[in-house]
Amino acid sequence: MKKIILITLITAFTKLNAQNGKGKMFPTIKGETFTDKNLTLPDAGKGKPCIIAMCFSKKAEGDIQTWLNPCYNEFVVKKDTTNAFGAAVSYDINYYFIPMLNLVNQVLEKSSQDKIRKQTDKEFWPHLMFYTGGLKEYKKTFEIDNTDLPYFFVLDKTGKIVHVEKGIFTEKKMSAMEDFLEED
């Protein structure tokens, strides 16, 4: 009986601390940016650290929207570090957001793309990749048990997942991602 309880506790603890693919190479995913550029990840991001944000359901949209401006401002906008007192950190990384549409939404792909395009600033379009394809492989690889949350994968220069965040934006989660970018 003690063994069963111990195994159950270890399994539960492992699940709670799962990093959704941490330590694995990010699997290949192909798509097209809203600037009509074909993209294959993680290959397109290799050579630099990379953050890939993925949204697996309509319910995750609210949470991912809390991340978009902070991530864009922190990782995409180049900060002025030319003045003598400038303490701004400017990251040299690749950043991509991928709405992972299910089969129903893929059938309605054109209207989904148009809706997202209308709601997104043009400056963000090169960082927005539209993917159509199966979701099961990615859910399994990343051990996605809650599709109602957005997932943020921090990759090293080789495409290996070094950190994962999920859910609504917090400064603590952003800081944790930045820590892994600074290590690289």
Do the domain assignments include residue 17?
A: no
Q: Please write the tens of the pLDDT for every residue from 85-139.
A: 555 567 889 999 998 876 555 445 556 667 777 777 788 888 889 887 788 888 8
Per the confidence metrics, is the pTM higher than 0.75?
A: yes
Overall domain count for the chain: 1
State which residues form the domain around 155. 22-183
Do the domain assignments include residue 10?
A: no
Q: Please write the tens of the pLDDT for every residue from 150-176.
A: 999 999 999 999 999 999 999 999 999
Cα(18)–Cα(129) distance, rounded to whole angstroms?
Answer: 26
The CATH number given to whatever domain includes residue 41 is 3.40.30.10
